[in-house]
């Protein structure tokens, strides 16, 4: 089924209220960038590279499944990070930390996402997402995770 229930229309309205704290006129929606003066630009009809699309898909996956522990900005400081220390003796990896990010090796990190922490010799606190995410989604979320340390989404 395609309909989703967890994201309620109420949270949609709430999310829109949060997303739309920006300026008023169409054209001022993206600060810092040139004003958006056409609908085609507002809907990104042109100009998004495959990497942009991959990052957007990765962000959707990350925000839904990962941010609760790893933090919205990849700081390893999500709402659910604290109890992991007590239950497993570990902290979630902080992707925005350059040292921790540099230590991540692509093949191993993707294996950890797909098969869980235990499978790569780390903690069982990291569940396996290979039954949940498609290979494409794993690749996308890995792109997005890497971007925390390199493009300054993170701290």
Partner 1 sequence: MCELGRPRRASAVLLLALSLLALSAVAGCRVHPDGSLPPGPPGLAGPHGPERAAALLPPLLVNASLGVRDRCTSCHENVLDPRHALDAPPLTSHPGRLLDVHSPRRFGCTPCHGGLGEATSESKAHAAGIGGVRFAGDATEIACGRCHVDEVALDGAPHLSHGRALIRNAQCDGCHVIGGASHPGRVGPDLSGIGRRVDPAWLFRWLKNPRDYAANARMPRFELEDKYVDALVGYLMTFQSETPFDTTAFPAGDATRGGNLVRSSFCISCHSINDKGGTGVIDLGRVGSKLHRPYLLHLLAATQEVDPGTTMPQYHFTNAQIADVAAYLGSELTDPSFTSAGAGSGSGKLGTWWPSQSVRIDVGRRLFKELRCGNCHAFPGSADWLRVGPILSQLAEKKDAEIPWGTTKYPHTLADYVWHKVESPSVYASSPHQLKMPAYDFTPDESRDVTIALLAQARARALPAEFVVRSRADETLSLPGEFGRLVRRYQCTSCHSVNGVGHNISADLGVEGSRARREWIYEYLKQPYTIRPMLTVRMPTFNLSDEEAGVLADGITSSWHDAKIDALGDLAAGPREVEAGRRLFESKGCLSCHQVGSKGGYVGPSFTSGSPVAKRYRTGYLVQWLENARAVKPDVIEPGFGFSRDQARAVAAYLLALPRDEKAASR
67-106: contacts with partner 1 (CB under 8 A): 68-69, 79-80, 83-84, 86-88
- Of 46 and 102, nearer to partner 1 (C-beta) is 46
- Footprint on residues 41-70 left by partner 1 (CB under 8 A): 42-46, 48, 50-51, 53-54, 56-57, 60, 64-65, 68-69
Q: How far is the CB of 57 from partner 1 (least distance, A)?
A: 5
Q: Which residue has the tokens 């497993």?
A: 88
Least separation in angstroms between CB 18 and partner 1: 10
Torsion angle defined by CA atoms of residues 109, 62, 29 and 12, in that order, rounded to the nearest 10 degrees: 170
Q: Supply the minimum distance, in Å, between the C-beta of residue 96 and partner 1.
A: 20
Closest-CA residue to 114 (of 88, 141, 89): 141
Residue 137, classed as helix, strand or coil, is: helix
Per-residue binding string, partner 1, 8-47, x by CB under 8 A, is: xxx-xxxxxx-xx-xxxxxxxx------xxxxx-xxxxx-
Distance (Å, whole) CA 77 – CA 124: 18
Cβ-based neighbours of 69, under 8 Å, separated by 6 or more: 76, 78, 80, 81, 84, 92
- Footprint of partner 1 on 100-139 (CB under 8 A): 116-118, 123-132, 134-137, 139
């Amino acid at each position: 089924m395609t309909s989703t229930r967890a994201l309620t229309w109420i949270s949609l309205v709430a999310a829109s209220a949060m997303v739309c704290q920006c300026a008023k006129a169409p054209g001022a929606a993206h600060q810092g960038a040139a004003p958006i003066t056409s609908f085609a630009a507002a809907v990104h009809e042109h100009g998004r590279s495959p990497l942009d699309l991959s990052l957007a898909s990765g962000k959707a996956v990350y925000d839904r499944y990962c941010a609760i522990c790893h933090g919205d900005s990849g700081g390893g400081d999500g709402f659910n990070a604290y109890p992991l220390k007590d239950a497993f003796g570990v902290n979630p990896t902080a992707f925005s930390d350059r040292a921790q990010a540099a230590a991540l090796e692509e093949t191993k990190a993707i294996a950890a996402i797909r098969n869980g922490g235990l499978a790569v010799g780390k903690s069982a606190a990291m569940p396996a997402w290979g039954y949940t995410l498609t290979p494409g989604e794993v690749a996308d979320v890995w792109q997005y995770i890497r971007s925390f340390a390199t493009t300054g989404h993170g701290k």
